[in-house]
Amino acid sequence: MHLIDMFNTAAQRWPDRIFLREGEKTRDYATVRSAAIAIAKGLRARGVGVDTRVGIMGPNTSDLIEGVFGIFIVHCIWVPVNVRSTASELVDYLTALDVDILLYTSSVTEVVRQAQARLPHLRLVAALDGPGRHEWLAGSDHVVLDDLPPRAHAVISLTSSGGTTGKPKGVALTELNWETAVATAASQFPGDHPVFLLAAPMSHAAGGLALMFLPRGPELIVLPSFEPEAVMAAIEKHHITHLFLPPTAIYMMLSHPKRHQYDFSSLKYFIYAGAPMSVDKLREALALFGPVMTQFYAQMECFGSITCLTPDHHAEALADPHKQHRLASAGQANIYARVEIMGENGDLLKAGERGEIVVRSNLVFSHYVGVPDDQKPKPDTWHHTSDVGYRDEDGFFYIVDRLRDMIITGGFNVYPSEVEQAVLAHPAVKDCAVIGVPDEKWGEAVVAFIEVKPSEAVTESDLIAFCRKTLSGVKTPKRVIVVDELPRSPVGKVLRRVVRDELWKNRPRNI
């Protein structure tokens, strides 16, 4: 089934229900569907054919979302572009993914203009808002749109991945990937008409999750970007039931001085993903937001969710001392994915043994775009996540770290996330990144870069002593460096690799 058909069905069932709410302005399902059809006709009138890659760039707005649906209606491939991209980054990305159609909103006009001058192959560059929208859509009402049968293996989106390890690449997702992701969301979040707060960028995980709710007639509350108090105010004002944010954004809310002034009782599912969450901060979140925290473990290459730690799992872990360790887990495999732990020799490991997390599922992506053939993953019957983890006897998965982020210090392997858990347990620490820094004695020395909460303070010696209570000497940070702000991705995930690359720059090796 086409993803757009799921929206069309919802629009037919609930044409007058509000679908998009942006500030004080609202658009119902019928209005959004009509606008998306107009965009689809505009694309077809300008010779944009089936399976054409169409880039779309801008902050979260109703106009941008209508553009996404227009791309789907005309059976083209949606290529979301990071709204924070510079002109050079935009040029590199569109070139690598062979995109020659670009839709954008007015807030990024200058970046698009600069990039367009260096992209002579672009066939169409068109605005999704303001007078420019009406200009390019004029005269296309007569266009007849294709009504294609379902194409399970047709690619309908190219999503960016790999931004922390080099130039981003396109992850090709098919109709079957999206259909399975929708089914996964339905199994984990039952019920019609969720009120979903879109605060993280539409171009990343939050946008994908919002689209997974389409068959249930959601109302999307659209914020242009994440700002802690704006999110808290929106939850109270619009009675938000579903919300996705990465852990670092949640940490900002937990440290906000006005966090206790807002009502969060409408929340049913506060979804977090993108990085492991500190157990101590997770306890704070459960105390503040209630028994609604829901963890996804997923990748762009394995769309939707590989595993899920449900609100009931969180509640059980809090209530039963014998289950408290589950708060550090990523939950159990979803019903549409087989998840295993694989050893270095390719054997599947038993409960308690550490290895790489591997997956078989219709959630697994089709292929990469914009990657040289010699850098593409070797064909395998399993999707290799590059995450190190283990499974316990009850089927809960625990992520230890990324294979490529492992620190080798004095001949011992240290996983940064384990050290970060210890650092984040300190009440003065807002967020952190732990990396291996070049060291003549140890090869790599464990170093913690931290952000401190407002009105708090902590010394290097105090934090190192604090970590020694729970970590062995080899894992305890040798240094602590306080920074004003850690580098983050567009969705707020701390970019550990960016910190590491700066320190390893001009070195003869990277390990």
* Domain edges within the chain: 3-150, 179-403, 406-504
pLDDT, averaged across the chain: 91
Token pair of 360 as six digits:
């078989």
CB-CB contact of 286 with 314 (8 Å): yes
CA–CA separation, 209 vs 305, rounded Å?
10
Torsional sign, CA 436, 438, 442, 448: negative
> CA-CA distance, 29 to 193, in Å (whole number)?
12
Q: What is the C-alpha separation between 376 and 409, in angstroms, rounded?
A: 30
Q: How far apart are the first and last CA of the chain?
A: 47
pLDDT at 380: 78
How far is Cα 211 from Cα 65, in angstroms, rounded to an integer?
A: 10
pLDDT confidence of residue 375:
67
| Confidence at residue 7, expressed as pLDDT on a 0 to 100 scale | 97
- Please state whether 255 falls in left (phi above 0), alpha (psi between -120 and 50) or beta: alpha
- pLDDT the model gives residue 82: 87
Kindly give the pairing relationship between strand 155-161 and strand 169-174: antiparallel
Distance CA 70, CA 387 (A): 36
Question: pLDDT-based confidence at 297, cuts 50/70/90?
Answer: very high
Residue of 64 and 204 predicted with greater confidence:
64
Rg of the chain in Å (alpha carbons): 23
> Are the beta carbons of 124 and 48 closer than 8 angstroms?
yes
Helices (H) then strands (E): counts for the chain = 15, 25
pLDDT over 50 (residue 113)? yes
Residue whose entry in the numeric block shows the structure tokens 């039963």: 320
What's the pLDDT band for 255 if we cut at 50, 70, 90? very high
pLDDT of residue 438: 81
Element (H or E) spanning 144, and its range? Answer: none
Residue with tokens 């049913």: 268
Q: Are strands 302-309 and 331-333 parallel, antiparallel or unpaired?
A: antiparallel
Least confident segment among 66-80, 96-110, 338-352, 369-383? 369-383
Residue 168: what pLDDT? 64
**Residue 415: its pLDDT value, please?**
82
Evaluate whether 179-403 and 406-504 have a shared fold.
no
Run of H or E residues at 172: strand 169-174
- Check residue 403 and give its pLDDT: 75
More confident residue, 169 or 450: 450
pLDDT computed for residue 498 by the predictor: 85
Separation of alpha carbons 240 and 209, rounded Å: 15
367-418: per-residue pLDDT in tens? 999 887 766 777 778 999 988 999 999 999 998 877 778 887 876 778 888 8
Does the structure show a pLDDT above 70 at 200?
yes
pLDDT score of 511: 39
The pTM score is 0.84
- DSSP H helices, 255-398, are 279-289, 311-319
176 backbone dihedrals φ, ψ, rounded to 5°: -65, -40
Its CATH architecture, for the domain 179-403, is 3-Layer(aba) Sandwich (3.40)
Domain 3-150 fold is Rossmann fold (3.40.50)
164 pLDDT higher than 50: no
Q: What is the pLDDT of residue 508?
A: 43
34-43, 47-56, 93-102, 200-209: which range is least confident on average?
A: 200-209
- Tell the CATH superfamily of the 406-504 domain: ANL, C-terminal domain (3.30.300.30)
